[in-house]
Chain A
Amino acid sequence: MTGLSALVRRVTWPSVAAHKGRSLLTLAGIAIGVGVFLAVRLANVSITEAFATSLDLFAGSAQLTVSRPGFGLDETLLPLIEADPAVARAEPQVVGTLVTADPAREILLVYGIDVLRSRPTTASIDAAGGDGEDQGFLGEDDALLVTRRFAQGRGLRVGDRLEVLAGSRRASLRIRGLLVPAEAEGERGGSASGFLERTVAVMDLAAAQPLLDRVGRLDAVALTLREGADADAVRARLTAALPDGVVVDRPIERSGQVDQMLDAFRLNLTILSLIALLVGVLLVYNTLTFSVVQRRREIGILRAIGVSRRGVEAAFLAEGVAYGAAGGLLGVLLGLALAKGTLGAMARTVSVLYLHAPVERLRVDAGDLLLGLAVGVLVSAAAAFAPARAAAGVPPREPIALGAARSDTGRAGRRRARRLALAGLAILTFAGLLAALPPWHGRPLGGYGAAFVVLVAALLVAPVLVLAVGRAARPLVGRLGGPAARLAADHFVQGLRRNAATVAALSVSLAMLVSVWIMVSAFRATVEAWIAQSVRADLVVTPAARLGGSREASLPAGVVERIRALPGVAEVDAFRGADVRYEGSPIVLGSGDLALQLRRGRLPFMAGTPADVLDEVVARRGALVSESFARRFDRWVGSTITLDLPAGRRSYPVVGVFYDYTTDRGLVVLDAATYVADTGRRDVQSAAVYLEPGADLEGARRSLESLFGPDAAVAVVSNRELRARVLDIFDQTFAITFALELIAVVVSAIAVVNTLVASTIERQAELGILRAIGLGRADIGRLVRAEAGLIAGAASLLGVVVGIALSLILVFVINRQAFGWTIQYHLPPEALATAAALAVGTALVAATWPARRAAAQPIAQAVRYE
């Protein structure tokens, strides 16, 4: 051990310290990789925990909750629940969203609670002027409690009014108290459980029900059981006593539902974050490989004076571990900063796609930070393994050779490169097998595995590609750039290992960028075509709160009839929907005027023809299901689905499967009459308005807007605006994905800098000779840039080919299995061209400093370098 520490102190450290630039770049690469990985993990965890703690706010001590997903629990069931002898306390609540009426359009997650029965378990109430112990004042029907931070942020005080959009109305509420985290009364309060997201608010149940469109209904009843009661027995008793569709579960299971819903989304981001890490690994490999090559002589001398193979190997592994530890530490800091920066964007995406995420605080625990550090160390150690082995293989008394680094392009090196490439091609078969696997618990693990194998294959093919590109490019670049450029081609081939690692790093990051680009672009085109077909209405009327992000707001009663009566209106299609469960998983149940939709050609069918489908929907009370539903639950035309609805348990034959990209949970659509009959719900979430031919769009919009009166908060959106909005949401959703891929390209740019600097150090003497025989500084710069260009060329070639392969896996395996979406595949040529240009641009920018450095080298010193 002391031997190793002496080696590290005398051999490893001086080399790391002597090549500060290279060491720092390597650290930066690991730090970025670890940082991105950690940031995505922290954001994911924070969002999940935000759901969990918001569920805890009023049910922290409850052992069971009773709920009725989608339709709410009839409040007349409350006495039945309370009658159970084991129930000590039953606390009814509704939870919904209000949107502030100001341009900020902040979403408040509002809990309506029975002020006589409930008090928050993770917060206390500070009612300046009121009595903290007596919550009676809360019973007023415009009373609202907001968090102290929310009030402070907006300069609001107790007694002030807050204007909000509630469903399709405006309402003015009075702030009657402030919520403060329970455990610590301080501003930055407490542990995770005592933390209050800023946008949580509380009202009295009786006031909240009409405001949140839940008159007579409850979202949940939290049950505290008597001491010694058997929760499972109570659960069984209540389930039997309550109507079908009522769910009795433990609070933890409710957050489990959220987990399940977000699973695909989170897994996807995590996998993408690993790419930056993979590029970081290649960077460490690249640095250490060069370090070994450059220090062969030193290693030979060490071996000659009695250092064992194992000792040499350990010293290089230690170098890798040290890079991993230091880079990991920086990465943890970077990850914290990145997570803070991206949490908002991720929460918005989750809110738009799944459900309102009341998250703004980053949850960080020591375990995550240690994980980040450990990941840094482990991946660096893994990357150091091969170079350390190579170092251990250096024989004692390595000859003091000229250009000692040229050992890897001999016949053995070429043979090795060919063998690796053959292995790479061979494992592609394995990728094909993995891609053909069915999803595992809804997760496309086979697809991810296949993508990983393809990336590994790319790494294995890189050395042969370097040889081939170098050889093919030599005469060409010679003709274009003269003898100096031809030397660049030689350098490129001679630094086979190092250049192969760099080409691999750059091409892996490019491949990911290309594949995500192709996938997103094909997906976008698919969605665009789909909207063009499915959104045919001239105008859509929807509650303003819905556009603000509230998922449950609905239109005022009777609105459809009033719209229908307006002059110029031909037809109106009312959309109703609810989040329900099917086989225990959250899905969306919706309804519309199917006759109208089929007549207007709105539903793009995957299976079944419109005319037959319409007959069956009406005649057999059939259901249409979205592709994502059909794939997730394997229910196709001919199957039957059973739902527990307020009217009781109902079964529907599946009569058609249609393409839909609004939700990956799965959508079941019933005819309006069936829906209203079976759910008892008449409220309409939005209305699609078709105008008479030749009717004036703006005139119709104005008369629609005036229909609702001054207190209404209803938005009238034109077809074009709606399409633009959908695509906006789409672009927002993929913004994070793109950012992650671009980060990977940045990391690989570091690898290019590293390689070029290494190449110029290694060839210092050669560059000196070239200068001595009359090459100018500018020529030396050109030489370095030409080498960068070759790296970029090889990487573009590999990156584009691998990117196309990955995009096929993404589109046909991963997306289909994770989200249940069919994407019409097409190759956007601009993506391929831009990726190649990006590679060349990245490499040339990366070459700037190495080129300048090489050109500035004093000649006399360089020629003495041997």
Chain B
Amino acid sequence: MPLEPAVSVRDVSKVYLTGDLRVEAVRGVSLDVAPGTFLALVGPSGCGKSTLLNLIGALDRPSRGDVVVGGVSLGALDDDGLTRYRRQTVGFVFQFFNLLPSLTVAENVALPMQIDGRPAAAVRERVARLLEEVGLAHRAGHRPAQLSGGEQQRVAVARALANDPPLLLGDEPTGNLDTRASAALTALFAGLARDGRRTVILATHSPEVAAAADRVVRMRDGEVVEDAAAVAR
């Protein structure tokens, strides 16, 4: 008996209207992802992988179909419900790091927990542990601008993990990093999925990231064209 999927994408389409132009970025995609999977979404630019990721992360709503995460249908949630979902269930890592430049590293990591209303002491403790985990404890008081790209992205991962979400999403997280930093980060993601409690979905162009994943889903023109377990782990 297979486990209930962590993420279930059910016949999802997303249409963008720009002026008279109708662009179908995602066309009828269905996908079940088992808990603890490290999944890589690959495909050429504009194939719809970022859009699909945004739909799973509730940064956007599908035009058709539904996304079910942890047994909860996102389509059934109202605005507050979706906010709570983004705060507690998903962690997002972006290509351009997207740290808040005015906050220190520690403050950036603490932000999601503070938004969630956690007690200050618990926040402090968890920030320290997360920074330890991503190897940046010594950078806690620095501003993002003082960090290298790889370091900034590791802070972004720590921030994504702040509220201990069961689902971690990354949109080209290694796209702006050099080979070494990219490899380190890929290992970090793989490690996060390995304990089975957390599902990781990354949209990526990088063959190395794809190679590290448990499962690779290839998209083209908004559709899934290939879905395979990675050969090498």
Contact = CB atoms under 8 A, between A and B. Distances in A.
B57 A772 contact: yes
A777 interface: yes
B101 to A, nearest CB: 6
B114 A765 contact: no
B98 A774 contact: no
Interface in A477-530: 482-484, 487, 490-491, 493-494
Contact of A860 (B59, B100, B159): B59
A773 B86 contact: yes
Interface string A529-573: 000000000000000000000000000000000000000000000
Nearest to B102: A490
Contact of B115 (A493, A494, A773, A863): A773
Given A772-B92, A774-B163, A863 B102 contact: no
Contacts of B163: 774
B83 A772 contact: no
B59 A859 contact: yes
A859 B86 CA distance: 11
Contacts of A773: 86-87, 92, 111-112, 115, 159-160
Given A769-B94, A863-B94, A774 B86 contact: yes
Given A775-B83, A858-B60, A859-B59, A866 B96 contact: yes
Interface in A63-122: none
A579 interface: no
A768 B94 CA distance: 11
A403 interface: yes
A292 B94 CA distance: 28
Given A772-B86, A772-B92, A863-B94, A777 B101 contact: no
B96 A774 contact: no
Contact of A487 (B59, B102, B159): B102
A766 B51 CA distance: 19
A256 interface: no
Contact of A771 (B80, B86, B107): B86
Q: Select the residue from B60, B98, B103 with max chain A CB neighbours within 10 A.
A: B98
Q: Which interface residue of A491, A765, A769, A771 has the most chain B CB atoms within 10 A?
A: A769
B59 A779 contact: no
Nearest to B87: A774
Contacts of A493: 102
B116 interface: yes
B206 interface: no
B178 interface: no
Nearest to B169: A772
Contacts of A482: 114-115
Contact of A774 (B51, B83, B107): B83
A275 B59 CA distance: 46
Contacts of B59: 768, 771-772, 859-860, 863
B98 A863 contact: yes
A484 B112 CA distance: 10
A776 interface: yes
A402 interface: yes
A765 B101 CA distance: 12
A769 B115 contact: no
A776 B100 contact: no
B100 A766 contact: yes
B79 A487 contact: no
B115 A483 contact: yes
Contacts of A491: 102
Interface in B40-91: 50-51, 54, 57, 59-60, 79-80, 83-84, 86-88
Contacts of B101: 402-403, 406
A390 B159 CA distance: 37
Nearest to A777: B79
Contacts, number: 77
B54 A483 contact: no
Nearest to B82: A776
A776 B98 contact: no
Contacts of A866: 96, 98
B88 A774 contact: yes
Interface of A is mostly: helix
A768 B98 CA distance: 10
A484 B94 CA distance: 20
Contacts of B114: 482-483
Contact of A776 (B60, B79, B102): B79
A853 to B, nearest CB: 16
A159 to B, nearest CB: 73
B84 to A, nearest CB: 7
Nearest to B57: A772
B72 to A, nearest CB: 16
A770 to B, nearest CB: 8
A776 B117 CA distance: 13
B115 A484 contact: yes
A777 B112 contact: no
Interface in A745-777: 765-766, 768-777
Nearest to B85: A774
A403 B145 CA distance: 11
A866 to B, nearest CB: 5
Contacts of A769: 94, 98, 100
Contacts of A777: 79, 83
B103 A490 contact: yes
B112 A774 contact: yes
Contacts of B160: 773
B59, B112, B160 — most chain A CB neighbours (10 Å):
B59
Nearest to B91: A773
Contacts of A779: 115
A359 B50 CA distance: 71
Contacts of B84: 774
A858 B61 CA distance: 10
Nearest to A859: B59
A779 B116 CA distance: 12
Nearest to A765: B98
A855 to B, nearest CB: 10
A770 B102 CA distance: 13
Given A772-B92, A774-B88, A859 B60 contact: yes
A860 B96 contact: no
A774 B60 contact: no
B116 A774 contact: yes
Nearest to B95: A866
A774 B115 contact: yes
A491 B98 CA distance: 16
Interface string A849-866: 000000000111001101
Given A483-B115, A771-B86, A776 B103 contact: no
B120 to A, nearest CB: 11
A860 B60 CA distance: 6
B166 to A, nearest CB: 14
Given A402-B101, A765-B98, A766-B100, A483 B92 contact: no
Nearest to B54: A860
A772 to B, nearest CB: 5
B164 to A, nearest CB: 13
A494 B116 CA distance: 26
A776 B115 CA distance: 9
Contacts of A403: 101
A491 B103 CA distance: 11
20 contacts: A483-B107, A483-B115, A487-B103, A491-B102, A493-B102, A770-B111, A772-B57, A772-B59, A773-B111, A773-B115, A774-B84, A774-B112, A774-B163, A775-B83, A775-B87, A776-B79, A776-B83, A859-B60, A860-B51, A864-B50
Q: Which 9 A-B pairs have the closest CB atoms?
A: A774-B87, A490-B102, A776-B83, A860-B60, A859-B59, A483-B114, A860-B54, A860-B59, A773-B112
Given A490-B100, A860-B54, A860-B59, 11 more contacts: A402-B96, A403-B101, A487-B103, A493-B102, A770-B111, A773-B115, A773-B159, A774-B83, A775-B83, A864-B50, A866-B98
Interface of B: 50-51, 54, 57, 59-60, 79-80, 83-84, 86-88, 92, 94, 96, 98, 100-103, 107, 110-112, 114-116, 159-160, 163
